[in-house]
Structure formats: structure tokens, C-alpha cells
Amino acid sequence: MVANAYQPTDSETWENLGDRWDAHDSFGWAEDGIRGHVFADADNTTVVVAIKGTSSTFFLGGGSETSARDKFNDNRLFSCCCAYVDFTWATVCDCHMSGSKCNATCLQDAMNDETSDNYFFAAAQIFMDVVTQYPRANIVFAGHSLGGAVAGLLGITFGLPAVGIEAPGDRMASKRLHLPVPPAGAAGRVPLFHVGHTADPVYMGVCSGRTSTCYYAGYAMESRCHNGQQLVFDTVAQRGWRVDMRHHRINEVIYLALEPWGITDPEERMPTLEPEDKDCVDCGLWKFVYEDSPQ
């Protein structure tokens, strides 16, 4: 479903989901912003909202009409401070103060601006439309990459299951959006799941800094901490893969990492579902200053 979110329903590369699921509705395909599909089972008791991730030649999934807005949302959601990396970068908001100091109040205001092509708020409106159309259905959010992070943010907001595949760290964005936080000790019971593997630099939070491929493509992918629970396939240790942006592609994730796991090599064991790392820190070298606090 998350692979199909990248393509229209009449695409020649559409993934066959079998008889159980059907793409009942689609959203965003006439526009240049958030896109995806709504899948439902035969009696409409379970509905999956699949959200497209970033379309970019950099991510090797191919560019599209949405590439510019996808990139804007990547840099808004996953950068430390408005995608300010150095003086050569064009920022997505004006909250950088100096050096590694950022105006946190400005940053939160910018993140909560519903009129600035913010995919989170657009996706929330799509969810409300889906609820109206399927009032008795069990709704699940899903997505890959940027789409997986947005799915996770929706799951936290509405208390519904969400599955992200190779999504960037979403914890920092959820805090800046002031989304609900599960009570202490309850994180393992939240139906929010992130699936990824260790050779994907975006999922692992290592596609940052001046030597990274993200830097050269203008993506400030600086977050690394995830909400919810994680299922991590160690393709580096068990497959000998190198960390490489090519391993972020959804088709490679499905057909080279997840689907053959434990089949081609019986020694490969399924990873266990682990709760979020409470000690994980995003943007530890930055100082965030609130306007109502001393400098």
C-alpha cells in the first residue's frame, strides 16, 4: 500500500494487493502537495490511509510535481532549525538566531502554521473526510519516508494505529506540534510502529552533516528519534550492507530487505519489537531559546 501511494491507480507498476483490499479513494493527485490512497476491505470495516513519501531524484524514487513541497516539508519537520545548516542554505522559516542558537518560540509558531503547505495539517483534514465517509471503520495510517512520519504524527494525534516504513525521526516534530504524549511507561502500548533497517541513513538519522548525501541535495534530515515502537532489521550486521541512500527506496526495502528476510538465509532471525529509546536526543548541539526566557 505504501509503495502504491507513489503512483496513480492505473500505473503499470501498481502493486497487486489481492482480493481483500481495494483502492476506494485517492487524494492529492490533481495537486502538487500531499498525495496517497485510501484502501478498504470488502465490508469497509478496516480502512488504510496510505500517504506518499518524498518524490525526488535524490531519493532515487523519481521526481514529480510534488517534489518542491515534499522537500519543504522534509526540511520543516526534520531539521533542527528551519533547515539552517550553513550560510549557503535557503531556510524554510526565519527562526535561526546565530551560530547554533535557534528561537524555539518562532520555530513552534512556524511548525503550527496551517497555511504554509504543512502536510501534517493537510493530512489531518484528509482524515476527517475519511471518518465522514467511513464512520464505523477501523482506520490505520501508513506511509514510507516522509509519508511514514506524517502517518505517525496522525496516529499520535488521533490515537489510531500507524505504521511508518523507513520514516525519519518523528519525535522532534511531534513535540514542536504539541501533540499528545503517552503517559510514562505506556509508550509500548501505543499502536505506533516504525519499521526500518540499519543500512538506511534516513531512518537511522545519519544523513546529516556536510559530508552526507542529504547535505548536497539540500535536505536537512537531522532528526533521529522515533515515537512508538520500532522493528529494526540489521541489514548491516546480518547482510553486510553498507549505509547507502539507495537502500531507502521503498521497492528495495520490500523486495530486498523485508520480504526475503529469513528465507534466503535461515540464520536470519526476525527482530523483536522494541519501545522507543527514551535516551535518544535530537539536535543536541543546538541551543533553543524561548522568547519569554532569559537569553
Quote the pLDDT of residue 114. 82
Contacts of 13 (CB under 8 A, 6+ apart): 7
Quote the pLDDT of residue 292. 62
Could you say which residues of the chain have pLDDT below 70?
Answer: 57-63, 116, 183-188, 292-295
Active site residues: 145
As a whole number of angstroms, the longest Cα–Cα distance in the chain is 61
The Cα–Cα gap between 201 and 215 comes to: 12
Quick: pLDDT tens for 23-39: 889 999 988 899 999 99
Contacts of 18 (CB under 8 A, 6+ apart): none
Helix axes 119-133, 67-78, angle to 10 degrees: 110
Contact status, residue 206 vs residue 249, Cβ threshold 8 Å: no
How many other CB atoms sit within 10 Å of the CB of residue 209?
10
Contact status, residue 49 vs residue 23, Cβ threshold 8 Å: no
CA distances from 290 to 45, 282, 295 (A): 45, 17, 8
Quote the pLDDT of residue 59. 57
